[in-house]
Amino acid sequence: MPYRRLKFVKENYYHVFNRGNYKSTIFFTSRDYQRFLEKLRIYKDEFRVEVIAYSLLPNHFHLQLYPKTDDGLVDLMKRLLSSHSHYLSVKRSLQGHLFQAPFKAKLIENEASFLQLFRYISLQPIKERIIATDFIRKGDSRDLKRNRKLIQDLREFSWGSYKEYLNPSKNDISSKEMVTALLKTKRGLTNFVESKVTLDDVLTIGSL
């Protein structure tokens, strides 16, 4: 199913993402990332939207969201993107549109897609290294466990929700109940995200 703007309905899961206009940078400093997450924390409560997973990269972001009202997701994204655009326009004297579009979204229609999306968002920080031609292969899969540095970088990435799943705290942004119910244990979580990434997964990661 192609990505498209669609009518949002409460109590469904959505993949929401956006990137900088012409793929330009939208996070320049640690403070830029921190402020975006601070606003996400505020608006998710204000507009009653659960954040299942997130990943922020220099020129784009991915969110896995579960709105509890029909208008909540759109209202959250409008406020979040408007706030970040205004912040950077003042801080860095940027002109023109910061983002290439308001935002894009896809309805997640089943459990398998829900988990695939969770893994996709979790792996964003090391995506480019996964799809590199010299990435370690094992048969028709690429075994992340054989690259300890890659796993360390993934687990220590500051601007994604994966670290919250590994070391949960009361200050976390992500709502973990659905993922935890499906993957059961911390080992189940790390095995799913970090190992047995098939070639199909890699191609999907490279194309979205």
Return the higher-pLDDT residue of 84 and 202. Answer: 84
Q: Length of the chain in residues, anyone?
A: 208
SS3 171: coil
CA-based nearest residue to 193, from 166, 172, 171: 166
The β-bridge relationship of strands 13-19 and 60-67 is antiparallel
> What integer pLDDT is reported at residue 140 of this predicted model?
46
- Domain ranges across the chain: 13-109, 112-207
| Crossing angle of helices 186-194 and 148-156, rounded to 10° | 120
**What is the per-residue pLDDT across 84-140, written as a single tens digit (0 to 9) for each?**
999 998 888 877 788 888 899 999 999 999 999 999 999 999 888 777 656 655 544
Residue 36's contacts (CB-CB under 8 Å, 6 or more residues apart) are 27, 56, 61, 80, 84
Distances (CA, A) of 78 to 102, 160, 165: 8, 21, 27
CATH architecture for the domain at 13-109: 2-Layer Sandwich (3.30)
